């Protein structure tokens, strides 16, 4: 089966539309979304609606969960945490009951033949697993959640292919919030990332989109901290 896997859209409609255009050009048999669909972007409602129109399975991301079960702000010592909280709250306030009902339909994990999909880890949408996760933690998770030969997760926004004893862990990166370090700071780059799986073949695909459209959407829709947030976006390359 030829499968397209994408996630971490984060309310970025220009990125989502660009990714879907490229996905359709590859003629996959099925689509799979890894969650974090709406939060932090200027188009939360539109991204939920576009995903719903695809009629594909979607796992529940931590940002999706926060929209369903909002919590009061609590300082934890992370960079820009107040700004991120305000962006998430703004996105939640845009949603109707119908869109929240779509979020409630997202699943903790999705199983396909030979494949287990999740957002952070099979145990928690908030756990990060990736290139530096200790092998004993990965084996602990595999023992608890099944010995599928292929695991696919999101959350870190970092493309990954990690192989352990014939078992593979993949991450497609992020559709709507791909990032890179430039100088002393991290920036969001206008590049939508996703995976195309065809048997044992794995393709990491990257698609450019109009960074000015994202910046304009942030400003026109008067998101919190709009000037600063728009300034975090840069053109790829």
Rounded CA separation 216/149 (Å)? 43
| pLDDT for the residue 70 | 85
Q: Distance of CA 56 to CAs 31, 52, 77, 78, 103, Å?
A: 6, 7, 37, 34, 13
Segment 116-143 shows an average pLDDT of 96
pLDDT category, 147, cuts 50, 70, 90?
A: confident
Residue 3 has pLDDT above 90, yes or no: yes
pLDDT category, 140, cuts 50, 70, 90?
A: very high
CATH homologous superfamily for the domain 2-234: Metallo-dependent phosphatases (3.60.21.10)
Would you kindly state where each structural domain of the chain is located, as residue ranges? 2-234
Helix (H) or strand (E) holding 115: strand 115-117
Residue 237 has pLDDT above 80, yes or no: no
pLDDT category, 73, cuts 50, 70, 90?
A: confident
Q: Distance of CA 119 to CAs 8, 115, 146, Å?
A: 9, 13, 16
């Amino acid at each position: 089966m030829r499968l397209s896997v994408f996630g971490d859209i984060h309310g970025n409609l220009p990125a989502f539309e660009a990714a879907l255009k490229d996905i359709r050009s590859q003629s996959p048999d099925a689509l799979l979304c890894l969650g974090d669909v709406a939060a932090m972007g200027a188009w939360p409602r539109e991204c939920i609606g576009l995903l719903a129109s695809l009629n594909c399975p979607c796992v529940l991301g931590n940002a999706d969960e926060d929209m369903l079960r909002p919590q009061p702000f609590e300082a934890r010592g992370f960079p820009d945490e107040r700004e991120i909280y305000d962006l998430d709250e703004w996105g939640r306030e845009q949603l109707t009951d119908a869109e929240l009902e779509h979020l409630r339909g997202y699943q903790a994990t999705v199983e396909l033949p030979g494949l287990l999909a999740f957002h952070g880890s099979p145990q928690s949408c908030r756990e990060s697993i990736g290139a530096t996760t200790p092998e004993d933690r990965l084996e602990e998770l595999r023992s608890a959640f099944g010995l599928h030969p292929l695991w696919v997760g999101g959350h870190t926004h970092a493309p990954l292919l990690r192989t352990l004893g014939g078992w593979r862990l993949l991450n497609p990166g992020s559709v709507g919030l791909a990032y890179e370090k430039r100088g002393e700071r991290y920036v969001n780059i206008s590049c939508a990332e996703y995976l195309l799986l065809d048997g044992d073949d794995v393709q990491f695909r990257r698609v450019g989109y109009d960074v000015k459209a994202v910046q304009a959407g942030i400003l026109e829709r008067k998101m919190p901290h709009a000037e600063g947030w728009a300034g975090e976006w840069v053109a790829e390359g």
